[in-house]
Amino acid sequence: MNTTASNGKHIRIGIGGWTFEPWRDNFYPAGLAHSKELHYASRQLSAIEVNGTYYSTFKPPTFAKWHSETPDGFMFSLKANRFATNRRVLADAGDSITRFVESGISELKDKLGPILWQFMPTKQFDPGDFEAFLALLPKAVDGRPLRHALDVRHESFATPAFLALARQYGCVPVYTDSPKFPAIADAEADFAYLRLMRSQADVPTGYTPQTIAQWAQGVRIWTSGERPRDVFVYFINGAKERAPAGAMALMAQLGLQV
């Protein structure tokens, strides 16, 4: 699996999950067993963002199975359990954070990508409480370093104070392409995490070829220059049935192969 930019940084592009009924008539081969969908998807794309971990607690054998079914170089981004982020006082999230991180995610080994901490659209930026939450995020699990991406969805986070806190605790803001949520980028972040949410049903690849070319150029900028970094791009929501085609089109624009 080729995910490497010319300077050695990695570009991983994918979709949200792998179980979606409409994909069974425009992405997966006809008649493919549902149990083989992860195996197939992971050989067309280079990453998957897992949404199921947001709603449910999985056990170590499940993460180990995902690892075994996917090729070398593939990665999973895991959405942290909602009990850690959907709360009035984030400073009280310690037990929920620990329960998620110690649920067996380390069984993904080298395929464990960033953890996505997604906050409610109504959650406003409270510097003191948010810093208390960031201080609770562990730097590693079972000796494996962790990367944390912050999916904040309220306009109050579009402030230098939030970016400063994220940098202080080694976290990265998610850059969201959405009509509903703010797009927050940090030029100093250690990696880039993009969620593209404007797919259109009447466009075969969700995003037009011209727009995909623009995103490809943006990815090249993130992986080059004075501060090159790894990039994760997920085609999420919007016309979800178009997500795999969009992801594969972006990979083709960047000359990446699986």
| Per-residue pLDDT tens over the stretch 72-123 | 999 999 999 999 999 999 999 999 999 999 999 999 999 999 999 999 999 9
Share of the chain above pLDDT 90, in %: 91
Query: Is residue 166 domain-resident?
Result: yes
Query: Is residue 147 domain-resident?
Result: yes
pLDDT in tens, 53-77: 999 999 999 999 999 999 999 999 9
Phi and psi torsions of 177, nearest 5°: -95, 95
Residue 25's domain comprises 11-253
pLDDT in tens, 148-197: 999 999 999 999 999 999 999 999 999 999 999 999 999 899 999 999 99
Residue 198: CB atoms within 10 A of its CB come to: 17
Query: Is residue 26 domain-resident?
Result: yes
Q: Answer yes or no: are the C-beta atoms of 139 and 145 closer than 8 Å.
A: yes
Query: Is residue 3 domain-resident?
Result: no
The pLDDT assigned to 9 comes to: 81
Query: Is residue 163 domain-resident?
Result: yes
SS3 227: coil
CATH of the domain at 242: 3.20.20.410
Query: Is residue 64 domain-resident?
Result: yes
The number of folded domains in the chain is 1
Query: Is residue 174 domain-resident?
Result: yes
pTM of the model: 0.96
Query: Is residue 4 domain-resident?
Result: no
Residue 104: which region, alpha, beta or left (left: phi > 0; alpha: psi -120 to 50)? Answer: left
